[in-house]
Amino acid sequence: MIYLFRFGSFTFTVTYLILFLWLLHIFIPLRKHLAVRILALYLSGYISNVIIYTHDLANILLSLLGLMLFLAVFHQGKLMEKLTAVFIFYPILISINFLMYDVSGKIFFAVVNPPAEYEAWTDSIRLAEAGIYTTACLARLLFWIGIYYFLRKPIREIRLNLTANMWLIVDSMILASTVGCFTAIYFTTGDSTVIYPLCGACIFSSLGSVCLVSYMSSAMQSAYQLKALKMQQEYYQDKMKEEERVRAIYHDMKNHLLVLENSRESETARQMAGKLRSQIADYENYVHTGNEFLDVILKDKAEKAREKQIDFSAAVEFHGIDFIEPLDLSTLFGNGIDNAMEASEKLPREQRTILLKAGRLQNFVSVLIENCCMPQAGEKNRRTSKPDEFLHGFGISNMQKTAEKYGGQLTARRENEKFILKILIPVP
């Protein structure tokens, strides 16, 4: 039975090490070499499994310095990001390890009351010691699983969204937990149980700081996105007014040129009139979707596609679909076409094609954007062909939020070297 407990404690400890390393990896990615990652997993045991006692200056400082060195050697990223990782995880790490060993030790000695000499321990005492230690290892693992699910999204958002100045604010906020945890464990005298609430406060202070900063960064990002979208909306509104004015002038000019072209003027004048009429003929091909704001968006994107030598074709029927706000139309169509054009620019001229289909399909509004993309071997179900998935997926993320705003959904997939994005929104 003792061996079974030891196997259990070993399994729980190894699982905890992997989980701890993976949590660090989410915040700051490990270096890519397999040998480096294997070595990191091995050495992480010395960092994350350190035994902490009261007044234990050596292990308290060594765990801090060890974590700093570990992140510097085995992880990518900037120095400020690595310091932030230390300030986030160090208080949690030593607080949990201290509680694990101190609480399990007190329970063991209170329940079993073993002799001072280890050689005098009976099999039942050793069995109790193995059982309590295994339970402590399981409790630590479960606690870190909870931390993993609690922190995995906030720490990813922090790393992706924060500016250099914000990193300083994060460090100053979380540094208090690090100092408080160190002070509580090292300087507290008397019964160690008085440290338990302080350790809990340090843990929740670190977690709370991460969530607060994550919320702040998300709010800043949302404000920036809203500002950009409003600027885009104003741009299209100005374009719409300009297009109305130009189309009015065009119709008058077309009639004048037709008269001039069929008049008895010189051949040169007639040729010039015909040439001018052909040059402004693009306005005959103006897209009429049934939504004036969407008309301007598609015309603007079609012009940009033509400049980039991209074959852009659109079949859009939006008559009677007036429940989607102009700002959201800009998000859905503008971002989708921009992403498609960005991917098409990487391809040879003959492969640059974008197909847009949109309209009402029974009780849904359907939007389909399809474009050729670079083949990437070994990749499946990725949102994007870009190396930096977040930056490219930024527009798609906004599109998804907009679709969900109306109770719809967005799907994106690769298929036969094509990127297919589809949006379905129920008609209210």
Q: What is the pLDDT of residue 304?
A: 87
Top pLDDT among 190 and 280 is at 190
What gap in Å lies between CA 92 and CA 20, rounded to an integer?
11
pLDDT of residue 144 exceeding 80, the answer is: yes
The CA-based dihedral angle spanning residues 295, 300, 301, 302, taken in that order and rounded to the nearest 10 degrees:
80
pLDDT of residue 312 exceeding 80, the answer is: yes
What gap in Å lies between CA 297 and CA 232, rounded to an integer?
10
What gap in Å lies between CA 83 and CA 171, rounded to an integer?
8
How many C-alpha atoms does 114 have within 13 Å on its Cβ side?
A: 19
> pTM score, two decimals?
0.58
pLDDT of residue 250 exceeding 70, the answer is: no
Q: What is the pLDDT of residue 124?
A: 87
Mean pLDDT throughout 253-279? 62
Q: What is the pLDDT of residue 205?
A: 82
What gap in Å lies between CA 30 and CA 53, rounded to an integer?
30
pLDDT of residue 376 exceeding 70, the answer is: no
Question: Tokens 């915040």 — which residue?
Answer: 27
Mean pLDDT throughout 300-310? 87
Q: What is the pLDDT of residue 253?
A: 65
Top pLDDT among 160 and 321 is at 321
Confidence band for 184, pLDDT divided at 50, 70 and 90: confident
CATH 3.30.565.10 occupies which residues in the chain?
A: 290-428
pLDDT of residue 371 exceeding 60, the answer is: yes
Mean pLDDT throughout 158-185? 72
Pick the CATH number of 290-428 from 3.40.50.720, 3.10.20.30, 3.30.565.10, 3.30.70.930: 3.30.565.10
Q: What is the pLDDT of residue 425?
A: 93
Helix boundaries (H) for 330-423: 335-344, 389-405
Q: What is the pLDDT of residue 169?
A: 72
- Which residues are CB-contacts of 66 (< 8 A; sequence separation ≥ 6)? 46, 47, 50
| 242-272 as b/e: b if 16+ CB within 10 A | ebeeeeeebeeebeebeebbeeeeeeeebee
Q: What is the pLDDT of residue 421?
A: 92
Mean pLDDT throughout 42-65? 83
CA distances from 402 to 35, 242, 272, 364 (A): 43, 28, 49, 15
pLDDT of residue 95 exceeding 80, the answer is: yes
